[in-house]
Structure 1
Amino acid sequence: MKVVAENTSESLVAGHLERIARRDLSVFPQFYEATSGKLYAIILGIVKNREAAEDVLQELYIKVLNRAEGFDRERGKAIPWLMMMARHTAIDRVRARGRRDNLDGEKYLIAIEEDEDDLLDDAVATQVEGERAMEEVGQYDSACTQCIRAAFYEGLTYSEIAKRENLPLGTVKSRIRRGIRHLKSKMQS
C-alpha cells in the first residue's frame, strides 16, 4: 500500500511541476502542501536552524518556479529532483555563511550566482544516478548506509557523524568509503 501512495504522490508532484513549468501557478498551493514537509526536513537537517531553514525553503521554491521547465519525467522522478535541489540550496546557505566574512557586495553576489549555475548542472547530471544510488544504499550494509545518509541528506562532516553516532572517526570514514566503493561497483555494472 505504501508503494502505491508513493507512486501516486510522485505522479502528482511531477504533474504539478509540469504545470508550473507552463506557468500554471494555480497548482502551486497543492504542490507546496505535497512537498514542503519533506523538503523542509532535509533543509533543517543541514542548516540546523528553523528560521534559516524557512528562508532556504522559500529560496528553494523560487528556484523551483524559475527552473521547473528543467524537470523531465523521462530523465527522472520529481521528488528526488526536488530533494537534490533542497540539499544543494541548504548546503549553499551553510557555505555562504562562511564566505560572507571574506566577500562583500558584488563579489558575494557573483559567487552565489556561480554556485547556482553549478548546482543546476550537477542536479541534471546526477538525477538518474542519484535515484539508483539511493536504492542501492537502502539495500547495503545498514552501518554504512546510516553514515552515507547522514553525510548526503544532512550534510554532516565525518567528524559530526562520528560524534553523533559515538564512533571513532576512522570507523566513520571506513564505513563511508566501503559504502561508496559498493555503490561505485553497482553503478558501473
Structure 2
Amino acid sequence: MSEPFSSPTTGRAPSGAESPSIPVPPDQLSQLIKGVAAKDRSAFAALYEATAPKLLGTIIRILNNRGWAEEVVHDTYIKIWRKADQFDASKASAMTWMITIARNGAIDELRKQPANRKAPEDELEQLASKEPNAQSQVEDQQTVNQLNLCLEELEKDRRDMVRLAYLNGWSRADLATHFDQPVNTVKTWLHRALKQLKGCLTS
C-alpha cells in the first residue's frame, strides 16, 4: 500500500493545513483512525481535514518556523497512516495520540538540527539588513555555537525541556504534561539544567 499523500517526497503538508479545522467529536476521530488503520483513504482525508490545523499549530509552537513545521506535519501524517493500527482509545483520546506523534516528531527535528536550520532567503535578507555590523554577527554566532555545545552536555530530557521552555515558551504545566512529571520536578530539572548551562558558558 502506497503512502496516503500523492507526493510525500516534497516534504510539504497538503494545502488543507492552511484552513481552520471543523470541530469533530472525539469518538468520531477515533472511528476515523480505525478507518485509517484499515487503509481507508477517505477516512484519512477526513481525519486530515479535521486535525491538520491543530497539529500544525502544535508543531509551529515548538519549531517557531512555519516552513519547517509544514514538513513535520507531512511526516506526522505519514506516521499516523502507518501506525493507526496501534491507536488504543482506552489509553488516550485520538487527538492526544496524534498530538503526541506531532510533538515527538518536532522535538526530534529540533534535536537533529538545533542550529543548522536555514531560514527562507527573504528572511535571511531581512536579518542581514538589521545587523549593525559584521563583528556583531560573528559574536552572536559564537554565542549561539557555545550555547548549543553546552546544551549537548545536558541529559536528553533536560536539554529538550530547556529548549521547549526558553526557546518555545512552554509553561511549566505544559512541560509537566509532556514529560509526565510533577510540576515541581519540572522546576527542579530546569533550575539544575540552567545552573549547569551557566557553569558551561562561563568556563
Answering whether residue 31 of structure 2 is matched by residue 15 of structure 1, we say: yes
Cα separation, partners in 2 of 1:24 and 1:160, compared to 1, 3 Å: closer
What is the Cα deviation at residue 49 of structure 1?
Answer: 0.6
TM-score if structure 2 supplies the norm length? 0.48
User: Which residue identity does 2:60 align to in structure 1?
Assistant: L
Answering whether residue 96 of structure 2 is matched by residue 80 of structure 1, we say: yes
Equivalent residues in 2 for 1:59-70 (5 A)? 59-70=75-86
Report the RMSD for the aligned CA atoms in angstroms: 3.4
What is the Cα deviation at residue 53 of structure 1?
Answer: 0.5
Cα separation, partners in 2 of 1:178 and 1:28, compared to 1, 3 Å: closer
Answering whether residue 164 of structure 2 is matched by residue 156 of structure 1, we say: yes
User: Which residue identity does 2:112 align to in structure 1?
Assistant: A
- Residue by residue over 1:101-149, the C-alpha shift from the partner in whole angstroms, topping out at 9 and shown as x without a partner, is 9xxxxxxxxxxxxxxxxxxxxxxxxxxxxxxxxxxxxxxxxxxxxxxxx
Equivalent position to 1:32, from 48, 59, 83: 48
Aligned length: 115
Determine which structure has more spread, i.e. the larger CA radius of gyration. 2
Give the gaps of 5 or more residues in structure 2. 1-21, 118-159, 187-203
Equivalent residues in 2 for 1:1-189 (5 A)? 9-98=25-114, 156-157=164-165, 159-160=166-167, 179-180=183-184
Aligned residue in 1 for 2:201:
none
What is the Cα deviation at residue 79 of structure 1?
Answer: 0.6
User: Which residue identity does 1:43 align to in structure 2?
Assistant: I
Alpha-carbon distance in structure 1 between the residues aligned to 2:41 and 2:182? 45
Cα separation, partners in 2 of 1:181 and 1:95, compared to 1, 3 Å: closer
What is the Cα deviation at residue 156 of structure 1?
Answer: 1.8
Give the gaps of 5 or more residues in structure 1. 102-150, 166-171, 183-189
Calculate percent identity across the aligned residue pairs: 28
Q: Is the 8 A contact 2:55 2:99 kept in 1?
A: yes
What is the Cα deviation at residue 28 of structure 1?
Answer: 1.6
Alignment partner of 1:30: what SS?
Answer: helix
Alignment partner of 1:73: what SS?
Answer: coil
TM-score if structure 1 supplies the norm length? 0.52
What is the Cα deviation at residue 75 of structure 1?
Answer: 2.2
Cα separation, partners in 2 of 1:34 and 1:45, compared to 1, 3 Å: same
Q: Is the 8 A contact 2:59 2:106 kept in 1?
A: yes
Alpha-carbon distance in structure 2 between the residues aligned to 1:55 and 1:26? 22
| Structure number having the greater helix percentage | 1
Alpha-carbon distance in structure 2 between the residues aligned to 1:62 and 1:19? 15
Aligned residue in 1 for 2:17:
none
Alpha-carbon distance in structure 2 between the residues aligned to 1:99 and 1:21? 37
- Residue by residue over 1:31-51, the C-alpha shift from the partner in whole angstroms, topping out at 9 and shown as x without a partner, is 111100110000000111111
| Structure 1 stretches of 4+ moved >2 Å | 98-101, 176-182
User: Which residue identity does 2:183 align to in structure 1?
Assistant: G
Q: Is the 8 A contact 2:44 2:81 kept in 1?
A: no
